[in-house]
Amino acid sequence: MRWCDLGCPEASFPRDEAVDGAGSCRTFAALYCARLKRLVAKNAPCAAEAMAQGSEDRDGREKD
């Protein structure tokens, strides 16, 4: 299992300011995933890997 963090070559700091409402440059709850072309939860299991395995829908929510 991969984890979403800055060690991933496809992860980067979010370009939007204050994605968690804190307004600081290094306090954030999301990363930008270049593979999925969207924000994903930081320090969570890899959303791209989960999507490839079919456990999430296109919006990143678990299927029923």
Looking at residue 1, what is its pLDDT? 82
Domain limits, the chain = 11-53
pLDDT band at 36 (very low <50, low <70, confident <90, very high): very high
Mean pLDDT of the chain: 75
Looking at residue 30, what is its pLDDT? 84
pLDDT tens-digit readout, 40-50 = 888 999 988 88
Q: How far is CA 34 from the centre of its chain?
A: 9
pTM: 0.63
Per-residue pLDDT at 60 exceeds 60: no
Q: What is the torsion angle, in degrees rounded to the nearest 10, for the CA atoms of residue 52, residue 53, residue 56 and residue 60?
A: -30
pLDDT tens-digit readout, 13-24 = 777 655 555 555
